[in-house]
Amino acid sequence: MIPVTGFAGHDVAVLGLGRSGLSTARALAAGGARPICWDDSAEGRERAAAEGFVIRDLTGRDAFFGVARLVTSPGIPHLYPRPHPAIAAAEAAMVPVDNDIGLFFRSVATPDWQDFDTPPRIVAVTGSNGKSTTSALIHHILTEDGRPAQLAGNIGRGVLDLDPPGNGGVVVLELSSYQTELARALTPDIAVFTNLSPDHLDRHGGPGGYFAAKRRLFAEGGPDRAVIGVDEPEGRFLAGQLSEGPSDDRVIRISVAEKLDGPGWSVAARKGFLAERRKSRQVASIDLRPITGLPGRHNHQNACAAYAACRALGLSPRGIEAALASFPGLPHRSQLVAERGGVRFVNDSKATNVDAAAKALQAFGRIRWIAGGLGKEGGIAALAPHLGSVAKAYLIGHSARDFALQLGEVPLEVCETMEVAVARAAAEAEPGDVVLLAPAAASFDQYPDFERRGQHFVDLVRGAE
């Protein structure tokens, strides 16, 4: 646990009592604060009360009298589309609002770090797509290299549940826009921006607010090194803002769209080959094509980001290459579930938006595509240029019929449920086909989260073996 510093003897309110909320309450108490907890659900309040925490309705007019800080869970809106009543009450009482990420950054460094031969480092990864795989890949490479490393944030453990990092330790954090948007402290040693595509726009008041939430990771704390994906205008803009000039190697640009040249530091992957360049010279290269845990161009972008972050930490190209080869991939992200009769079954349930689904559709040849769920604004119209490899679409969920109207000449079947879609796709698949779950939609119409949706696909596929 990372005890929260700076609030000993003070009341600190905690809103939202899921995984991160309860961890926050425990870490506050460990640091000498007095947590006051609230959750909109009776179940959440009961969990906190069972651990002895004080429960108080934070939506009341006088709820924040004597409270030093409100710490809110990331899923609770604080601005758009409208603030949660407890957050509005805190702001009316002039009580600052923070989250567990902000508390982590203000508490993780201790005086002991001055005595370490190698001070701990923090790597933080954000972006629209690929941040989970990139974070897990960085952690895997470090572990394979013998470095003490922990993985947390939007993946793995809650940040305040981590063990205090010791000599030479590295903490790898995956951070969503919900987490970076509100944190009052953001001071990683290395910050990674994978890419940007429209997502969570209602929460951020549009694309500008969404990008601004991501940008805070780089603007607030000023990382020693920034790894920036430059295949979108926002990434190029961010890299330009952070750089003092073409040869400034504090910014490492990454790309899978073009060869990057110039006097600076870059890592790019083209046609399956990763190349690192510094001062206009290639210094290392890796053939990514045989790596089964990183299929497709989107995973090659993840490999570039992880490679660059690990190089910034001082790892060797050959050590990184060996670790990449042993990376198994993550569940629900281009996960090879089974291969039967020459047909591969791939679970990419994490492809909850159009951009992520496009990347999955570009990663394979002839595809039996399972898509649908709770569609987002615009549906799947933007996927039209990426449907050439789709032999047939099998549509499920709330948006199945809306998606069907946007697929043009692509053969399709409205299946409604995952059970029907998997059965139909498996029955019609031919050797060489890939049955791909890449929904291009949220899961909340039929499942509590994308993990549960992906696991249902996995269970159905493996149950049919």
Binding residues for ATP: 127-133
Cβ(173)–Cβ(125) below 8 Å: yes
Q: How far apart are CA 152 and CA 56, in angstroms?
A: 29
DSSP state at residue 464: T
Please tell me the total number of residues recorded for the chain in this structure.
465
Burial class (CB in 10 A: 0-12, 13-18, 19+), 234: buried
Report the C-alpha dihedral over residues 178, 182, 183, 188, rounded to 10 degrees: 60
Strand segments, DSSP code E, in 74-157 are 97-98, 121-126, 149-153
Q: Which amino acid is at 107?
A: S
Query: Taking the mean position of all CA atoms in its chain, how far away is CA 130?
Result: 6
Q: Which two tokens stand for residue 241?
A: 């803002």
Query: Taking the mean position of all CA atoms in its chain, how far away is CA 409?
Result: 34
Q: How far apart are CA 267 and CA 317, in angstroms?
A: 12
DSSP state at residue 297: H
> For residue 122, which of 154, 149, 98 has the smallest C-alpha distance?
149
User: How would you classify the pairing of strands 367-372 and 390-396?
Assistant: parallel
Strand arrangement, sheet containing 412-416: 335-340, 343-347, 434-437, 367-372, 390-396, 412-416
Q: How far apart are CA 251 and CA 237, in angstroms?
A: 12
SS3 content of the chain, % helix, strand, coil (to 5): 35, 25, 40
Strand segments, DSSP code E, in 21-76 are 34-38, 54-55, 67-72
Strand arrangement, sheet containing 121-126: 149-153, 170-174, 121-126, 190-193, 225-229, 251-255, 265-270, 273-278, 281-287
Burial class (CB in 10 A: 0-12, 13-18, 19+), 325: middle
Q: Which two tokens stand for residue 310?
A: 């690990």
H-helix or E-strand spanning residue 367: strand 367-372
* Binding site as annotated, residues: 127-133
